[in-house]
Amino acid sequence: MMNCMNTRRTLLGNPAGEHPELIEHLNSCPGCRTFAKKLTKEEALLRTAMNVPVPDQLQERILLQTALRRRPDSIVTRLRQLLTSLTFPTRAGLAVAFSSLMAVGIWHYQPIRDPHLNWSKVVLAHVIGEPEAVASNRSLPRASLVEALGRYGLAVKGDLGTIRFVERCVVPGGRGLHVVIDTDRLGKVSLILPPTGLRADRSSARSDGYTASMVDIDGVSMGIVTNEPERLHELTALLARSLVRQG
């Protein structure tokens, strides 16, 4: 017959064990029965804690920040390679939850004015990593865009089109802004604004059928991402006419 020490050692290895000697000892030992019940309860709580929903696009954001930290020649190419080689479950355990916190921490504390950072590649990878935002068919109130851009000191003048997506997002240096607008004549356009006060150099990048261009709109840097590169000039002109510094 098992003693208390062996019984508890066995339970720690497998709380659901059904070995005959284990069952016999538990039936005769109140202390070990209490230990087994407590261990089973803790196991259930741990399973519940591990069964947490993953935030939208967590996988892409973690991989994107990793790619940026490594500063590859082609961020988008590296991102695609990582996405191909790694598969994340639809539910995250404690390890993934920890990884997500680390990812946010790296994003937030990464130096804002990194001379090696190409913002056109950052915004391009960000848009490619959030297909749900690009494909959104929601119609958001104009006020949501007005409020979001107001944090950057910009006022919306005129009608840009149907607002599909407006959300603050994690980017190098802190929080940026992701906007998707369905314009009347120029199709859908995604805008990624770096953290407030950051002035990004003008640059451009292409991948996966998208073209990204960093522009300056009345002193505010933003990335324009479209799948119709021939319309970039018109989109830039539209934004320049419609967005102005708040009086």
| Each residue's pLDDT tens digit, 14-32 | 777 778 888 888 888 888 8
Nearest to 239 by CA among 125, 227, 225: 225
Cβ atoms of 97 and 53 within 8 Å: the answer is no
Q: pLDDT digits over 131-152, tens only? A: 889 999 999 999 999 999 999 9
Q: Give the separation between CA 186 and CA 234, rounded to whole angstroms.
A: 8
From start to end of 7-137, where are the E strands?
Answer: 52-53, 91-92
pTM of the model: 0.58
Is the confidence at residue 246, as pLDDT, over 60? yes
Q: Diameter of the chain by CA atoms?
A: 85
Contact, 56 vs 37, CB < 8 A? no
Share the mean pLDDT of the chain.
77
